[in-house]
Amino acid sequence: MSDSETILVAFHEAVRSRFFELVEEFFANAAAINREREELHYRQLCAGYTHTLRLELEQHAQALLHTHRNRADSAHIDRALQGAIAEYVHAFVQRTR
């Protein structure tokens, strides 16, 4: 496994549990919402959690990039981390539909 792959694996290991925590927290907070009457409220709650997830993932990615900023392949690592962030956000949106 290359160093860039190792960094990506470290990212996933660090953020995976937080992803599932946010999913569980979202559903706990959304359980009381009647989507037939309060769809807007549900969507706003979802948007808030999506925003929180993206921010936390980006902060963790930035910390990893800062740690490995002197690497020749840092641009490649940045693209890989941005792709991983997009996948997590997409997964969250899919689960909350």
Is the pLDDT at 1 greater than 90? The verdict is no
Residue appearing with tokens 């969250």:
92
Phi-psi region of 33 (alpha: psi -120 to 50; beta: other; left: phi over 0): beta
Q: Could you name the CATH architecture of 3-96?
A: Orthogonal Bundle (1.10)
CA gap 33, 17 in Å, rounded: 25
DSSP-based three-state secondary structure for 81 = helix
**pLDDT at site 69:** 86
**pLDDT at site 48:** 98
Give the chain's mean pLDDT. 95
The reported pTM is 0.92
Helix (H) / strand (E) containing 28: helix 3-30
CA gap 25, 38 in Å, rounded: 19
Where along the chain do its domains lie?
A: 3-96
- The pLDDT tens digits for 46-84 are 999 999 999 999 999 999 999 988 888 888 999 999 999
